[in-house]
Structure 1
Amino acid sequence: MKLLKKLFFFFIGLSFLLLIAYWFIGKSLSPDYNGEIKISGLKDKVTVFYDDNGVPHINAQNNEDALRAFGYVHAQDRLWQMELIRRLAAGRLAEIFGKDLVRVDKLFSGLGIEEAAVNGIAKIDKTTEAYKLTMAYLDGVNQFIDKGATPLEFYLVGVEKEKYTLKDIYNVFGYMAFSFAAAHKTEPILTEVKEKYGEAHLQELIGSFSKNLTINKTQKNPEIQAAMSEAMNIIYDKLPVSSFMGSNSWVLAPEKTKNGKVILANDPHIGFSQPSVWYQSHIKTPTYEMYGFNLALTPFPLLGHNREYAYGLTMLANDDIDFYIEENNPDNSLEYKTENGFEKYKLFDKTIKVKGGQDTTYQIKVSRHGPIMNDIIDQVNYDKPIAMQWIYTKLPNQLLLDVSYDLSHASSIESFKRAPANVHAPGLNIMYGDAKGNVAWFSSAKLYQVRDSLCRQVYLDGASGKDEITEFLEFEENPQAINPDWNFVYSANQQIDTVRGELYPGYYQPQDRAKRIVDILKSQDKFSREEMKKMIFDVTSSTASTIIKDMLNGLDVNNLSSSEKEAFEIISAWDGTYKKNSVAATIYNRLLYEFYKSTFKDEMGKGFAVFLNTQTAKKILATQVKRQESVWWDDVTTKTVETRSDIINTTFKNAVSFLQNQLGDNVDNWTWDRVLSVEHEHAIGKAGGLLRKLFNVGPFKTVGGNEVLNNQIFDLDSTGYYKVKSGPSTRRVIDFSDIENSVAVLPTGQSGNVFSPYYKNQATKYVNGEFVKMKLNQEEIEKSENKLVLLPE
């Protein structure tokens, strides 16, 4: 008994000591939100007020001081995030995570992102304010590395801090550009479909691209395999930082709002991770003010607003990547064929350092079209070289200094238009609204023409010269809308309007979210900020009920069991709303999986799992469910020829049977919250156990689903459980009738430091559809409890 008593007090004492140690470690490694710090390079004192959500409100006497201070405070909250994204873009993750990340490093080091950065930096005009402010920001980041506490993650993985350079900043934008692209996942599959099953199978897929569209219309008025695809999927699954997916935005003109002023709403869809992708700040000087949202290691915000104007982004989803099949010289594998004879590949030797293992060295061949993908993705076993031509690396890219600076430093809609005009890649929908009443949407990318009838969704001929770009278009030819007579602009990654009389090719999302936006905005004459807050959290699909009706047309209802009849009645009456207690949402998503499986898996084979979650699969659904005759209905693995009726009945019965085994016989218990969840994973929290509990945020039950406005993006797969991987990376509603009460929310919190009180303080608000104020009122800001003063050293 005495021994037990001693052991009890021993463990109590040990626990107490561990708590004390954790508290001291937390205090020493947490960000400084109060006090005074001296940093070099400042001309005057800079005051930083931290509001109750950890947003720094930076008050400086000049812009360079403000950006130097911003770099410092950005780094103290997000240094680990900065480290990951700079290593990812440069192919340096294996240095800290080991051999499992070699394939990721091999891809990104081979894409030409770093080479494009070097070329871009060589052409920088160092006399511009954009360059000077960028260097001030970098200096602030690097001074935190010298003076500030080292984040816990650096100790856990055993990595030393390194100073940041301008190339690191450029590389961040290179990664963003590549993660926006969809061609590398889709075109290999479509090429295999064409080669193995012929033109009819291919045309039924890509022929659906021009059907069931809600087109983003142009109007300008006077101003006020699948082997490569499967490999890419595996690589994306291993990424320790967010990838960019989609987005919603709409801007209401004064005629469309109850208070007679512009309202802008925006929620970019990006992969969920911890920390959240955006870092908020409010910078104010005598000549400049902006409340902005920045990516890690970027000096200028890509989302922002002030009292005069607001702007946001969505993904354009134009096709800016083309794959070319090169033809090697049979006598010299270091040369490839062109219409003018053989040319030599450019050769680049790359070395990947591997933690706990031997370095990996490999060589990349680069043709006139770009890097040979066979060299950088091990799984590509195509019998000829495949080159990737990417507009981001093909043309000089001005995204960093020109575009992001101009977005955040405009003085009018005229000056703002310079930014969209300079975007080459990634393709963006840039949304604009201002206090004067202007609203605008610009499709921003370097669009181009190829010869008539060339299908860019499959591999192109690299040797003949017939499949080359024939012309780059001027920006004024890009679809755009300025103060349209329908009194709003919007974007949900849908098909853009025609360019030279033809729909411009791309991997656009289906019309679901775009149609829902238009349906809501046309449902009444005027809207308030509160109604926009509800709309941005809307969870009703605009197409699901129609798809179900078309899919189940022809189902043999007389041959259903009692449970199947109950499921049929529930799904037939569904209005497409994804609430937590919805049974129909659960049935619908299982029906989708079974339908895709019964229709496409026999031909797709190993590529089916990748195809299932591409834009192509989503876009063809509404058309395919209605087809009475289709080359895809027949199961090529059987001797019989299956019909649409066979597929539909098999789909329904398999779905109900699966759900009974998964969730029980009582259909009423098949609620959506039993199968849908979201967890914000930290790169180290992925290891599980105590690290997961310490670093990850969640899991949470949530509402929404694929392609509703509260877009909770998950993969359809065989498991029947839906782990949300992406969604709104922030929700913002900016109201020029009451600009000081504009609102936003982040998925987790403002800080990436696990010891910060702002690490996950917004997570519950986010899943509940709540918001926090984006403060602009100086008197209110100065009442903040936390005040950090940066003094000249």
Structure 2
Amino acid sequence: MRIVKKLLKYVIIFIILVVICAYFFIQHLKPTYEGELNLASLSDKVEVYYDDYGVPHIYAQNELDARRALGYVHAQDRLWQMEVIRRLAAGRLSELFGEKLVRTDKFFSGLGIEEASAKTIANLDKNTEAYKQTIAYLDGINQFIKKGPKPIEFYLLGLDKEEYTLTDVYNVFGYMAFSFAIAHKTDPLLTEIQEKLGADYLEELNIPIYKNSTLLKNEVNPILEKDLAQAVTDIYNNVPVQPFIGSNSWVIGAKKTKKGKVILANDPHIKFGQPSVWYQSHIKTPNYEMYGYNLALTPFPLLAHNRDYAYGITMFENDDVDFYFEINNPENENEYKTPNGYETYKVIDKEIKVKNSESVSYQIKVSKHGPIMNDIIDHISDEQPIAMSWIYTQLPNKLLEACYGLSHAKSLYGFKEATALIHAPGLNLMYGDVDDNIAWFAAAKLYKLNDSVNTKVILDGASGSDEIIEYLDFTQNPQAINPKSNYVYSANNQPDTIAGVLYPGYYLPEDRAKRIVQFLEAKNDFTKQDVMEMINDVTSAVTPTIVENALSSIKAEDFNDDEKKAIQILQNWDGSYHLNSVAPTIYNRFLYEFLGNTFEDEMVESFELFLNSRVQRKINAVQMAKDSSIWWDDVTTENRVETKRDIVTKSIKDAISFLEKQLGNSPKQWTWNRVHTLEHNHPMGEIAALRKYFNVGPFEINGGSEVINNLTFNLDSTGYYKVTAGPSTRRVIDFSDIENSTTILPTGQSGNVLSPHYKDQAKMYTNGDFVPMLLNEDKIKGFKTKLVFKVDN
């Protein structure tokens, strides 16, 4: 008995020791928000005050010290995020996650991002402030790597810390630029529709057909093979980093605000994930101040404001990627045809290291247009080589200088000069200042091809007739400075003519743009509170018209009483997506059935790609307004040609039948909150046992697709609308009360799961609330959470 008691005593002591060790180990992994730390290469001490939401307010005597401190505090909150994004762009995710990411690594390593980064770095002017401050920022990150703890994700994956370099910074720029591009998800799909269904089908999708477009004879056949667009979409679905997808922004001039000062609003739309995309910081020196939002591994903010000016971004959606069919030399597959004879492909050897498996070696062929996509994406059905020409890798890269210039402008003119340095990705830069200037600049290096070239399909790489013939000067880019309307806005919609034509792109439908304009035209006394409510608006300006056009084709006698009740709900709907609304649930299921009944019989396997593409989102209103269409006919039925009435009637019946089985017989039960949820997923959350620790949510949430509070989801057979993307932050900057401008993040400031700021904003974000962006020094220095960096010589 004594032996048992002794053993029990030792077991209890051991358990207590384990718990104590675990406690101190966990405490060691948390970010250091207060106390004193030594930081090498400082010229003077730096004080960092953390506010209630974990935003560092950095007070330094010069910018180099401030940027070095920023690197350190950014890394201690977001090192895991930095690690994932740098590996993505370099094709190194398989080292973390194993064989399932080989396809993704092969794709991104083959795009030429690393090669473009190396070329840019070799030609950098190392005497510029942009370069010096970037090196200081990287030094701060690397000092944390040496002194600070590894994130818990590193322990779970057995990962060692590696220092960061300038190449990593430029690789992140490259990933950002590619995630803005849309052509790789669209052009191959449209090419396949053109070649396998014919010109009439493509033209009805509002895609222009030109006289010299290469067309096969009009012969209707099913689309069966997996193409480039589907392959790229599959790759993106496995990427553990959030790509950009859209955005809203508007700037209201002084004459339209109640207090006579400019108000700027911005909410870039990005795929949700954990941690949130943006890291906030406030830097103050005797000569400089900026409250900014940085991406991982970017030293200068893409969204920012101070007491003098504010700026934000949306996606321009211009077409900066073109695909070309190359023709190989039948005698030598290492050569391809050009107007001047055959040229030799450049061949690049690549190797991917794979966790718990052998490395994968492969080669990429590169033509004058760019990498051959067949070499880096498996399952491309076309045997003919397809090259990707991407402006980002084709032209000199000045993004670092541009980002520095945007965040250091002394005037609107200086801001415009910095904007002109951006060649890719295509961005709308939105601007407002304390002197009552407002502006919008479309930033991108735009170009022209021959008028007969259709950039929405794969081009002819061999003839020379489809090449770029002219780069446009920045003065020809869409832009507006202090317009008579007293506002500027962007919602990823089609800009006005450029060089006399509507510039090709992958612009989103007019829904959000129309709603924004409705608000801005309605009054001339906007307040910050008005704009905060507007940025959370959940009413579609277009959907009621879509419903009206659809229901105009049906007949009451075709429906039973339950179906008529559901139709009545749709007829009375104002387009709002509230949690207790029933109409959004009916409409989105109807839309899914309508798209399937209209397009799936012709597209077959490619329908799933089309279903959640930009093309589908733009065509809905157009297709629903048509009385006749080649797409109405179901090609699988013999001796019958279906009409719009047939398709809409069947779609309503299919939708109601599905909802009765899914949610119950009474439409009162079909509320939006039952099917529309948001969960912020962390890569570690894929492991079931870790999901509740790393993921944030799920939450029921207001909003829907293409309303101002734009919450994107995939339409699929499930009948559930799990939000995948939306506002990555909401910001409202009011120059009449600059010290009390407001913002919110989707989850929190920190990416460290042990930080109190990992998810402290998540419920507020879901509720449409805001937190302050502090500039007042007295308030900031009143916070007790203070970290001091001392000079370490």
With the shorter chain as reference, the TM-score category is over 0.9
1:226 deviation in Å? 5.4
Q: Which amino acid aligns with 1:760?
A: K
- Preserved contact between residue 67 and residue 133 of structure 1 (Cα < 8 Å): yes
1:580 deviation in Å? 0.1
Q: What is the aligned partner in structure 2 of residue 575 from structure 1?
A: 574
Residues 534 and 16 (structure 1), Cα distance of their counterparts in 2 relative to 1, 3 Å cut? farther
Q: Which amino acid aligns with 2:592?
A: Y
Q: Is 1:23 aligned to residue 42 of structure 2?
A: no
Please show how residues 317-466 of structure 1 align to structure 2 within 5 Å.
317-399=317-399, 401-466=400-465
Alpha-carbon distance between aligned partners in 2 of 1:18 and 1:755, rounded to the nearest angstrom: 19
Q: Which amino acid aligns with 2:304?
A: G
- Preserved contact between residue 189 and residue 226 of structure 1 (Cα < 8 Å): no
Q: What is the aligned partner in structure 2 of residue 589 from structure 1?
A: 588
- Preserved contact between residue 243 and residue 270 of structure 1 (Cα < 8 Å): yes
Alpha-carbon distance between aligned partners in 2 of 1:737 and 1:14, rounded to the nearest angstrom: 62
3-state secondary structure, aligned to 1:277: coil
1:13 deviation in Å? 10
Q: What is the aligned partner in structure 1 of residue 222 from structure 2?
A: none
Residues 721 and 12 (structure 1), Cα distance of their counterparts in 2 relative to 1, 3 Å cut? farther
1:39 deviation in Å? 1.2
Q: Is 1:286 aligned to residue 286 of structure 2?
A: yes
Residues 584 and 470 (structure 1), Cα distance of their counterparts in 2 relative to 1, 3 Å cut? same
Q: What is the aligned partner in structure 2 of residue 624 from structure 1?
A: 623
Please show how residues 192-211 of structure 1 align to structure 2 within 5 Å.
192-207=192-207
Q: Is 1:178 aligned to residue 171 of structure 2?
A: no
1:688 deviation in Å? 2.1
Q: Deviations over 1:287-317 (max 9, x none)?
A: 1100000000110000000000000000000
- Preserved contact between residue 312 and residue 432 of structure 1 (Cα < 8 Å): yes
3-state secondary structure, aligned to 1:264: strand
1:24 deviation in Å? 2.5
Alpha-carbon distance between aligned partners in 1 of 2:277 and 2:412, rounded to the nearest angstrom: 28
- Preserved contact between residue 251 and residue 488 of structure 1 (Cα < 8 Å): yes
3-state secondary structure, aligned to 1:571: helix
- Preserved contact between residue 678 and residue 725 of structure 1 (Cα < 8 Å): yes
1:17 deviation in Å? 7.5
Alpha-carbon distance between aligned partners in 2 of 1:18 and 1:551, rounded to the nearest angstrom: 66
Please show how residues 746-785 of structure 1 align to structure 2 within 5 Å.
746-785=745-784
3-state secondary structure, aligned to 1:725: strand
- Preserved contact between residue 373 and residue 387 of structure 2 (Cα < 8 Å): yes
Alpha-carbon distance between aligned partners in 1 of 2:439 and 2:483, rounded to the nearest angstrom: 8
1:230 deviation in Å? 1.4
Q: Deviations over 1:729-757 (max 9, x none)?
A: 00000000000000100000000001101
1:665 deviation in Å? 0.5
Q: What is the aligned partner in structure 2 of residue 214 from structure 1?
A: none
Q: Which amino acid aligns with 1:358?
A: E
1:508 deviation in Å? 0.4
Q: What is the aligned partner in structure 2 of residue 273 from structure 1?
A: 273
- Preserved contact between residue 208 and residue 619 of structure 1 (Cα < 8 Å): no
3-state secondary structure, aligned to 1:299: coil
Q: What is the aligned partner in structure 2 of residue 715 from structure 1?
A: 714
Q: Which amino acid aligns with 1:43?
A: S
Residues 523 and 357 (structure 1), Cα distance of their counterparts in 2 relative to 1, 3 Å cut? same
- Preserved contact between residue 188 and residue 226 of structure 1 (Cα < 8 Å): no
1:15 deviation in Å? 9.2
- Preserved contact between residue 71 and residue 139 of structure 2 (Cα < 8 Å): yes
Alpha-carbon distance between aligned partners in 2 of 1:33 and 1:525, rounded to the nearest angstrom: 44
Q: What is the aligned partner in structure 2 of residue 212 from structure 1?
A: none
Q: What is the aligned partner in structure 1 of residue 673 from structure 2?
A: 673
1:26 deviation in Å? 2.3
Q: What is the aligned partner in structure 1 of residue 309 from structure 2?
A: 309
Q: What is the aligned partner in structure 1 of residue 531 from structure 2?
A: 532
Alpha-carbon distance between aligned partners in 1 of 2:536 and 2:103, rounded to the nearest angstrom: 37
Alpha-carbon distance between aligned partners in 2 of 1:89 and 1:322, rounded to the nearest angstrom: 20
Q: Is 1:664 aligned to residue 664 of structure 2?
A: yes
Q: What is the aligned partner in structure 1 of residue 729 from structure 2?
A: 730
1:25 deviation in Å? 2.8
3-state secondary structure, aligned to 1:389: strand
- Preserved contact between residue 280 and residue 291 of structure 1 (Cα < 8 Å): yes
Q: Deviations over 1:701-738 (max 9, x none)?
A: 10100000111111111111011011000000000000
Q: What is the aligned partner in structure 2 of residue 221 from structure 1?
A: none
- Preserved contact between residue 112 and residue 393 of structure 2 (Cα < 8 Å): yes
Alpha-carbon distance between aligned partners in 2 of 1:9 and 1:612, rounded to the nearest angstrom: 64
Residues 11 and 417 (structure 1), Cα distance of their counterparts in 2 relative to 1, 3 Å cut? farther
- Preserved contact between residue 278 and residue 296 of structure 1 (Cα < 8 Å): yes
Q: What is the aligned partner in structure 1 of residue 696 from structure 2?
A: 697
Q: What is the aligned partner in structure 1 of residue 78 from structure 2?
A: 78
Aligned identity (percent) is 60
3-state secondary structure, aligned to 1:430: strand
Q: Which amino acid aligns with 1:96?
A: L
Q: Which amino acid aligns with 1:765?
A: M
1:228 deviation in Å? 1.3
1:18 deviation in Å? 7.3
1:666 deviation in Å? 1.0
Q: Deviations over 1:112-164 (max 9, x none)?
A: 00000001111100000110000000000000000011110001001110000
1:602 deviation in Å? 1.0
Q: What is the aligned partner in structure 2 of residue 149 from structure 1?
A: 149
- Preserved contact between residue 558 and residue 649 of structure 2 (Cα < 8 Å): no
- Preserved contact between residue 208 and residue 620 of structure 1 (Cα < 8 Å): no
Alpha-carbon distance between aligned partners in 2 of 1:91 and 1:150, rounded to the nearest angstrom: 22
Q: Which runs of 5+ in 2 are unaligned?
A: 1-5, 210-224
Q: Which amino acid aligns with 2:598?
A: T
Normalised by the length of structure 2, the TM-score is 0.96
- Preserved contact between residue 537 and residue 708 of structure 2 (Cα < 8 Å): yes
CA-based RMSD: 1.8
Aligned residues: 772
Q: Deviations over 1:456-490 (max 9, x none)?
A: 10110000000001100000000100000000000
Alpha-carbon distance between aligned partners in 1 of 2:481 and 2:379, rounded to the nearest angstrom: 46
Alpha-carbon distance between aligned partners in 2 of 1:620 and 1:16, rounded to the nearest angstrom: 64
Normalised by the length of structure 1, the TM-score is 0.96
Moved over 6 A (4+): 8-19
Alpha-carbon distance between aligned partners in 1 of 2:625 and 2:735, rounded to the nearest angstrom: 45
1:208 deviation in Å? 8.5
Q: Which amino acid aligns with 2:511?
A: D
Alpha-carbon distance between aligned partners in 2 of 1:612 and 1:681, rounded to the nearest angstrom: 23
Please show how residues 599-678 of structure 1 align to structure 2 within 5 Å.
599-639=598-638, 640-678=640-678
Alpha-carbon distance between aligned partners in 2 of 1:156 and 1:26, rounded to the nearest angstrom: 13
Q: What is the aligned partner in structure 1 of residue 229 from structure 2?
A: 229
Alpha-carbon distance between aligned partners in 2 of 1:563 and 1:88, rounded to the nearest angstrom: 51
3-state secondary structure, aligned to 1:100: helix
Alpha-carbon distance between aligned partners in 1 of 2:475 and 2:162, rounded to the nearest angstrom: 43
Residues 451 and 124 (structure 1), Cα distance of their counterparts in 2 relative to 1, 3 Å cut? same
1:425 deviation in Å? 0.6
Q: Deviations over 1:54-89 (max 9, x none)?
A: 000000001100101110010000000000000000
Q: What is the aligned partner in structure 2 of residue 544 from structure 1?
A: 543
- Preserved contact between residue 207 and residue 456 of structure 2 (Cα < 8 Å): no
Alpha-carbon distance between aligned partners in 2 of 1:22 and 1:623, rounded to the nearest angstrom: 61
1:454 deviation in Å? 1.2
Q: Which amino acid aligns with 2:761?
A: Q
- Preserved contact between residue 208 and residue 623 of structure 1 (Cα < 8 Å): no
Q: Which amino acid aligns with 2:509?
A: P
Q: Which amino acid aligns with 1:353?
A: K
Residues 243 and 16 (structure 1), Cα distance of their counterparts in 2 relative to 1, 3 Å cut? farther
1:556 deviation in Å? 2.2
1:559 deviation in Å? 2.0
Alpha-carbon distance between aligned partners in 1 of 2:587 and 2:109, rounded to the nearest angstrom: 41
Q: Which amino acid aligns with 1:543?
A: V
Q: Is 1:295 aligned to residue 299 of structure 2?
A: no
1:785 deviation in Å? 1.8
